Amino acid sequence: MLFNSYEFIFIFLPASFFIYFYLNHKKLTTVSKSWLIFTSLFFYSWWNILYLPLILISILFNYTITSAMVECQGTREKYFSNKILLKTGLVFNIGVLAYFKYMNFFIYNINFFSNTEIRLLNLALPLAISFFTLQQIAFLIDSYEGIVKEKNFLDYTLFVTFFPQLIAGPIVHHKEMMPQFSSSKNKIKNYRNISVGIFIFSIGLFKKVVLADYFAVWVAAGFDAAMSLSLFEAWATSLSYTFQLYFDFSGYTDMAVGTALLFNVKLPINFNSPYKATDIQDFWRRWHMTLSRFLKDYVYIRLGGSRYGEFRTYGSLMATFVIGGIWHGAGWTYVFWGVLHGVALVVHRAWGRTGFRVWSWLSWLITFNFINIAWVFFRAKKWDDAIDILGSMFSLQNVVLPEFLASKLAFLLNDHITFGDSLLNLSTGVDLIVWLVAGFILIMSFDNSVKMIDSFRVNKYNIVFTIILFYISFFHIQRYSEFIYFQF
């Protein structure tokens, strides 16, 4: 079930909300939690009920492992036993993720490099497996280190399945979620939270169905015609994807945050104006912040972090972002995207040690363009598509200028510079330019949803603003449109 669907907005969400608080009002706390788990599993099963057993097995296995860790604490065999349990849990979780997400990629590469013909498994990627696996890996490690304890199976299941964050995050920790469900004041409807939740949900819905989905049309056209793009078409394609990805994923996060607030649950911040970043480290402190937190806490620091000298630090950074690239998808383009960001962070760290500084505007320009270029590999389905688009972005061999400039710039006419429809392959014109300019203005000049939550007041302006956004979005929910991060 999609957040941006009539079924979710007008049937599923109201039913989940009103019945949950009705049960809490009747002091049926256990039943209300059970109801929320049921609705979350129903939400998950809406896509494909065949994968429901997988998430249930994953929950049961991880709960059993962590419960055993708690039981072993205080015994003489504590360290040894818990270490074995942790390794068992990690092998299980990583193994399940590797089987469903990477097995075909692994077999394909064996066939390619060994000239064999091993049959591909053609497994469909279970929905949300990347997210609920990371969430439970974090819980395993935290349980092993004694940071968290959970003896209630119902609470643990709710922690994993809570539907606002189940499909594509934010990636949450047990210690920041479960106290909110246990709080007695959160079992009563909070009308400020409801107001803020609807407000933020409407912003996220608008980002997705109006902004991201409009850019998606031009992105698809550009990547489909990757071999024949002109200079301007290639840049328009890459920038369109840069904006599509941001508005799509931050829109999802806004809707998740807004939905959770209806239930008096505050999800962690996941985006903080990432395209305003003035260096690559700053970008990763702002983009998909809960993933960055996971990579830092459970990969980078575990590899040594910055504790063992610069060379080891550079290696840890590279390994962390290669793993981050692989987590996003089973393909060499994702791996290379991770390598690019790892190299960028190494260069940033090395540059910082020199003591040289550049102007903030230049630093922003370099950072934004690097991110924009790297996203091409993230989006490309094939390596050749990425190379073709990047080749066109940095080539003067195929420049098409607008027709109205022909009389004034006729002296430029040659084999490589022509006049005509400069965005022909994207089936658009000046409207795309307008949308790109609007995208820049929105991400650079306006407050993000985090600041909007903090400053929100129930007043006429915000009520009218919410109604307008929702009204416009309502008439753009016309087709099946998944969120980009659903595929990860």
Contact yes or no for 212/480 (Cβ under 8 A): no
Query: At CB < 8 A and 24+ separation, what contacts does 100-109 make?
Result: 100/125, 100/126, 100/129, 101/125, 101/129, 101/130, 101/330, 102/326, 102/330, 104/330, 105/330, 105/331
Contact yes or no for 68/87 (Cβ under 8 A): no
Name the nearest CA neighbour of 261 among 131, 165, 138, 152: 165
Tokens of 256: 């998740």
DSSP string across 162-202: -HHHHTT-----HHHHHHHHH-GGGGS--HHHHHHHHHHHH
Alpha helices in 207-308 (DSSP H): 213-224, 231-262, 280-284, 289-295
Amino acid identity at 60: L
Name the nearest CA neighbour of 400 among 421, 373, 381, 380: 421
How far is the CA of 356 from the CAs of 281, 359, 368, in angstroms? 16, 10, 20
Angle at 10 between CA 28 and CA 270, to 5 degrees: 80
Active site residues: 328
Contact yes or no for 425/233 (Cβ under 8 A): yes
The residues near 302 (Cβ < 8 Å, ≥ 6 apart) are none
Name the nearest CA neighbour of 203 among 448, 441, 1: 448
Longest Cα–Cα distance in the chain:
88
Classify residue 230 by burial, with Cβ atoms within 10 Å: 0-12, 13-18, 19+: buried
Name the nearest CA neighbour of 36 among 170, 177, 200: 177
